[in-house]
Amino acid sequence: MKAIVQQRYGSSETLRLLDVDPPAPAEGEVLVRVRAAAVNARDWHIMRGDPYLARLMMPSMFGRHAPRRQIRGSDFAGVVEAVGAGVTRFAPGDEVYGDLREDDGAFAELVRVPVGFVGHKPAGLTFEQAAAVPLAGTTALVALRDYGRVRAGQHVLINGASGGVGTFAVQLAKAFGATVTGVCSTRNAELIAELGADHVVDYTREDFTRTGERYDVMLDLVGNRTLGECQRVLAGDGTLVLAGGGMSGGGRPSLFGPMALITRATLAARLGNRRIRPLPNVPPSAEVLATLREYLEAGQITPAVDRTYPLHRAAEAMRYLEIEHARAKVVITA
Phi then psi for residue 204, to 5 deg, are -75, -15
Residue 16: CB partners within 8 Å, gap ≥ 6? Answer: 4, 5, 6, 7
Q: CB–CB of 85/289 below 8 Å?
A: no
Rounded Cα–Cα distance for residues 271 and 255 (Å):
25
Element (H, E) at 308: strand 305-310
Write down the pLDDT at residue 206. Answer: 96
Write down the pLDDT at residue 62. Answer: 78
**Residues 147, 121 share a domain:** no
**Residues 179, 111 share a domain:** no
Last residue of a domain, one of 239, 262, 278: 278
Rounded Cα–Cα distance for residues 159 and 222 (Å):
6
**Residues 197, 129 share a domain:** no
**Residues 269, 188 share a domain:** yes
Last residue of a domain, one of 263, 278, 293: 278
Write down the pLDDT at residue 264. Answer: 67
Q: The domain spanning residue 191 has which CATH number?
A: 3.40.50.720
**Residues 24, 101 share a domain:** yes
**Residues 273, 143 share a domain:** yes
Is residue 97 in a domain? yes
Write down the pLDDT at residue 280. Answer: 82
Is residue 71 in a domain? yes
Is residue 149 in a domain? yes
Is residue 292 in a domain? no
**pTM exceeds cut of 0.95:** no
Write down the pLDDT at residue 186. Answer: 95
**Residues 265, 176 share a domain:** yes
Spell out, as residue ranges, where the chain has pLDDT lower than 70.
51-57, 245-272, 274
Tens digit of each residue's pLDDT (9 = 90 or more) over 154-186 = 999 999 999 999 999 999 999 999 999 999 999
Query: What's the domain count of the chain?
Result: 2
Q: The domain spanning residue 72 has which CATH number?
A: 3.90.180.10
**Residues 240, 127 share a domain:** no
Range of the domain at 24: 2-133+303-333
**Residues 188, 151 share a domain:** yes
Residue 72: CB partners within 8 Å, gap ≥ 6? Answer: 4, 6, 15, 43, 46, 47, 104, 106, 107, 314, 318
* Cβ atoms within 10 Å, residue 287: 9
Is residue 94 in a domain? yes
Is residue 284 in a domain? no
Is residue 287 in a domain? no
Is residue 232 in a domain? yes
